[in-house]
Amino acid sequence: MSNPVVSYEIIDSIGVITVNNPPVNALSQALRDGIQKAVTAAQSDASEALVLICAGRTFIAGADITEFGKPPMSPSLSDILVSIENSKKLIVAAIHGTALGGGFETSLACHYRCAIASAKVGLPEVKLGILPGAGGTQRVPRIAGVKAALELITTGNPISAAEAADMNLIDEIIEGDLKSGAIQYAKDLVDSGAPLKRIRDITINASSIEPGFFESYRKKLAQRARGQIAPDRIVSCVEAAVKLPMDQGLKLERDLFMECVQSSQSRAMRHVFFAEREAAKIKDLPANMPVRDIKRVAIIGGGTMGGGIAMCFANVGIPVTMLEINDEALERGLGIIRKNYSITVQKGKMTEAEMAERLTFINGTTQYKDLADVDLVIEAVFENPDIKAEVFGKLDAVCKPGAILASNTSYQNIDNIAAATKRPQDVLGMHFFSPANVMKLLEVVRGAKTSDDVLATAMQIGKKIGKVCALSRVCYGFIGNRMLGGYGRQAHMLLLDGASPAQIDAAAEEFGMAMGPIAMSDLAGLDVGYKARQAREAAGEKMDPRAHCIASALVEMGRLGQKSGAGYYKYDPQTRARVPDPEVDALIKAHAEKLGIKRREIGAEEIVARLMYPLINEGALILEEGIAQRPGDIDIVYVYGYAFPSAKGGPMFYADEVGLKNVYDAICKFRDQHGADIWKPAPLLERLAKEGSTFAAWGAAQE
């Protein structure tokens, strides 16, 4: 046979089908066609059994996502799986790397599966707002059980070969060379007279499923999935695997797969998938830009943020030195790290031995001279420009030439920080999000004099420690926190206008946010914003009382949020459950009356618009000013840094889905109601709305 990505040969009586479609053996049309032709040809040749194996670094890692939304090309994945499953000769899938999505479904159509110990398998489709569409929801429950199947498919997380073997998804773990081992395994199966084990022939005993199980699982998922439809449809498919014959279950799976693919949620989540990859690219830097070697890292500041950053590096085996002002503060910081690791061990996500190993990569000091040999320093001290300038002056004096000096500042001007050194080309921002050892976003902030190789190094090291990186230019708050200002201001003004804290949070959470803005303020601590406002007022900035008067009054009453047991809400001391407080309602009404604001009933639709549209409008300004490289970068910042629902795609994608004219018209309406000082349409938004265009089209034109 002749196929550019699939070859076939007989080795020691076993027909070996080899897939070679770099980089990840995606299920392209050519690959599908090649497998089907090889299986068909093998039915009449001298082979006794077949092995399906892949060249390169991985087994079939999934569908060719670039084919989504395009007319289907024959053969479909379902067509080749029928050919595999109905083969007269036994077929063994030989797995290495990752067998994901359609790749794993291909292996499930084979009669047996073997894998090397380092392999992983999974069905991650739910993370793209879809479900397995080639039998995954029907075959996995038949061999792994219903509960295990639901957990695997609704989380989308891959599992190890050992875990898969425990679930009957893998039949044999191969030690040594996979190809020779798989061929020998196939020969052993033939010699032992092993049957053609088709998963479709297994029937699930419906009486083994407790009454109400599926409905209960749906309710549990509803809390976790925040309005996403794919998890619910997955439950329907697995339920069909129990109650319906295989072919009917496959038809339902296909119908629900198409519903999900065509949904706005899947469009949004596929957008996030591609935007994440684009965000890692710096437009004016070549892909092969040389980077600096980062072998040792230092962290200035051992608080919650500094400790979390240190863990990020220790987790990948990079030695870290954490500097604190004195021995007491240093021991406290190291204690935070030990406590965080201990919690992970208690949850069963890490062993004691793994924790001990990671802690060996972290040491502490109180002396700047001990940082002389590090390759990267990340400052994580208080948001005070004078303190930061002092720190960078000291670093400039002790760090070796070529060391990168980074600030974790959330707001401060990177160029001003760089000016405290004689090496501004080596200075940039690396803005982590709290808790840094958990949150995936890293805003890399490019100063006016930051060198290209420093930028490239920061993006590369960010990826190495498991972060999703997005580039920002210098402005107050960079991308994320700058945009957040309008979101928080409107939450406060909605209170004055008539909405209760619970109504605002409920509307935001129904939209898909992990937590509403009022509850989030209580979680972060109301005193944090209070101190920031004091600093800005001391610098001469005039603050609008409509944007903070209630929050300030709560702080002055000693209500700091969750940490004090009361903020906008009261908090149960045991469960931390939030409870509306009539005292706060009275406070809000009093301030509204004082400001001459007539309160009224406000619906969820208006609440969502007034929270989300400031994000969009500020995002448009950020694009015009060149602070962000592309609309998708803004979306990545908000999905990974601020828990914006991935099923909405980020604020800029969401704006395109709503329609920029609709967003613009609403902002104009709010401007007329509340004043142009608060609601002023960004010029880019206005222009695109009047042209009938989108942020996506504008972004594509800039590439």
Instruction: Just list the catalytic residues.
Output: 105, 125
Is residue 526 within 8 A of residue 549, CB to CB? The reply is no
Q: Which of 181, 185, 108, 112 is nearest to 149 (CA)?
A: 108
CA–CA separation, 442 and 466 (whole Å): 10
CA–CA separation, 111 and 246 (whole Å): 16
Cα dihedral 164/168/173/179 (nearest 10) = -100
Is residue 519 within 8 A of residue 502, CB to CB? The reply is no
List the structure tokens of 494: 């909605």
Q: Which of 126, 114, 113 is nearest to 158 (CA)?
A: 126
CA geometry: angle 41, 42, 48, nearest 5 deg: 165
CA–CA separation, 407 and 261 (whole Å): 42
Cα dihedral 59/65/71/74 (nearest 10) = 0
HSE of 101, CA atoms in CB hemisphere, 13 A: 22
List the structure tokens of 367: 């002396």
CA–CA separation, 558 and 530 (whole Å): 12
Cis? peptide before 23, omega within 30° of 0:
yes
Q: Side by side, which strands form the sheet with 404-407?
A: 362-365, 320-323, 297-300, 376-379, 404-407, 427-432, 441-446, 468-473
Is residue 481 within 8 A of residue 409, CB to CB? The reply is no
